[in-house]
Amino acid sequence: MVRILSLLWTFVASFVASSVSFFYIRADGTKHGFPFSFAKEVATDGSIQIQYSLWSYVFDVVFWWFLFSILMIVIKNYVLEVD
């Protein structure tokens, strides 16, 4: 049985993974994030600014939360066999 506290820890881990994935820069050098690009650099009149897409960041957090939750359930129920 999965406890709510375990899912909250995976939610925190998803925020950490999304924040760390911001530093992943795509090959073209203009987009940040993995697996979704939620920020891009925009150069205007000599200054570089970063534009964020809130929905892409939310989808990135949900993606990592889903992935970590599935991983936690598999490890807890099938590898460790802990109730």
CA distances from 26 to 18, 23, 46 (A): 15, 10, 22
pTM for the structure as a whole? 0.68
Determine which helix (DSSP H) or strand (DSSP E) holds 73, and give its type and residue range.
helix 54-74
pLDDT value at 41 more than 70: no
Q: Return the half-sphere exposure (C-beta side, CA atoms, 13 A cut-off) of residue 57.
A: 12
What is the number of structural domains in the chain?
1
Domain containing residue 44: 4-79
* SS3 label, residue 26: coil
pLDDT tens digit sequence for 24-36: 666 666 666 676 6
